[in-house]
Amino acid sequence: MLAADSTPAAVETDLLVAPWFEDDRDGVAGLDHATGGEVGRAIASKEFEGKPFDLFLAPLVDGRWRARRVALIGGGKAADFDAALARKVAAAAGAAVRLRRVARAAFLLRCGAGAADDAATGAFAHAVAEGLTLSEFDIGSYKTDAPHTGEATAWTIVIGGGAAAAGGAAAAVARGRVLGECSNLARSLANEPGNALTPREFARRAAEIAGGGGASVEILDERQSGELGMGLLLGVARGSSEPPRMIVFRHEPPGAPAAPILGLVGKGITFDTGGISIKSADGMERMKDDMSGGAAVACAMRAISMLNAPMRVVGVVPATENMPGGRAIKPGDILKSAQGTTVEVINTDAEGRLILGDGLWYARRLGATHLVDVATLTGAVVVALGKTTSGLYGTPERFVAHVRRAAEAAGDRAWPLPLFEDYREQLQSEIADISNTGGRPAGSITAAMFLKEFTGGLPWVHMDIAGTAWAEEAKPYQPKGPTGVAVRTLARLAFDPLDV
């Protein structure tokens, strides 16, 4: 993917893609004439109105234009066209171009109204590069009769504004490309069936992904986890014939200060039946994606190292299956965590918080000063926020706000929910330090309250992606399937000063 300083007419490509706003008169100078009046005709007849993701294709008949065809893609109103929408528009354009098997395409960078300085150009170039890259993901990797879409489209992002502007935007494009590719890697992991992506295989692939980007990787087996006293992880793993793994990543750039150290923890349940508290059969096949948080951490660690983030980062992914085998934990069992806290298991389907408890403790042991965990944790967050927004929980509020800003900038919509101390009462146990569920009321909040017990009082944010890790229906910019949520958020945090 390249960034080029050029005029639209001078770009030599098979297809020139240009965002077009609803209030454009002549959004790209000379384009209507170059299409023999087709652009003007389509707009006058309202065949094309520039609404978000509308698409209109026309041949270029003016020999002075070096592209063969043009595709206008709607960007909505110019005043509303920000980097977040540019990312989606680029993804929609990339998907449409891919379906048409176009070998070479160029995307004309256009910023929204009032966004014309170099910083804005860089932000839009970054977002467009991410969007075009995200459009390359293919959910049908196991289909043997799927139509072949050919080689991936070779994209050029046309910047304009002179060589200096294009040179500055080139770094933003390269960064966006890395983050888009890492998001797609996380989507590929989440799309793998449970029989292919066992905990050991997940650990192997995660090591390959993050290690290939420059992060160091260590994999703890069940014996090493036992020596560390990780009774929560080992307890969940008991019902499976597949042994668990604790995957550890480190990014330690030369010259980085000893602190802060960002600790990323991701839930790695490679398949979740619910255990003895078994789930209903309807939709259980989707539980292959219960390791989406762990995939986000692994792939974010790759991006963090590839992009040379300035701070130290550790990543921890506890990985196991949750199965109802003969040795599986039962409701009423007591487990002891690595930090010594005893947990009464009320519901074996509340297993993600158990393994994250040991994961958070281990990130602290590795020196983390700030913690962010990511997990497909509760159905309750879907009831609260639906399928478009992840839940944020944590302390102190300044750190929650810090993570939320990173998420919004990365295109991962998130919203904070409260952690009032009263909610802790729902987790009281008569025979252990804490129970693993507080019942249905405020279910996502009490799950976060459980995790808080293992943060050691450090600044901490929990990101519940149960509603956002998988798209239930296709949209122009997002096919049905895994979304790669949180990869870009976690990577961005490694570049933002942690002054909380």
Residue positions annotated with a catalytic role = 279, 353
- Indicate the SS3 state at residue 55: strand
Cβ(367)–Cβ(261) below 8 Å: yes
Burial class of residue 253, CB neighbours in 10 A (0-12, 13-18, 19+): middle
Beta strand segments in 267-330, E: 268-272, 312-322
Length of the chain: 500
CA distances from 317 to 194, 374, 423 (A): 17, 10, 27
**Alpha helices by DSSP H, 344-410:** 352-365, 380-385, 397-410
Bridge-partner residues for 292, per DSSP? none
**Alpha helices by DSSP H, 36-146:** 38-44, 83-99, 118-134
Residues 6+ apart with CB under 8 A from 74: 19, 20, 21, 22, 48, 49, 50, 51, 52, 53, 54, 55, 89
| Vertex 242: Cα angle to 238 and 243 (nearest 5) | 70
Q: Which residue has the tokens 């010259």?
A: 255
Q: Report the C-alpha gap between 74 and 476 in whole angstroms.
A: 11
- Measuring CA to CA, which residue among 53, 180, 67 is closest to residue 128? 180
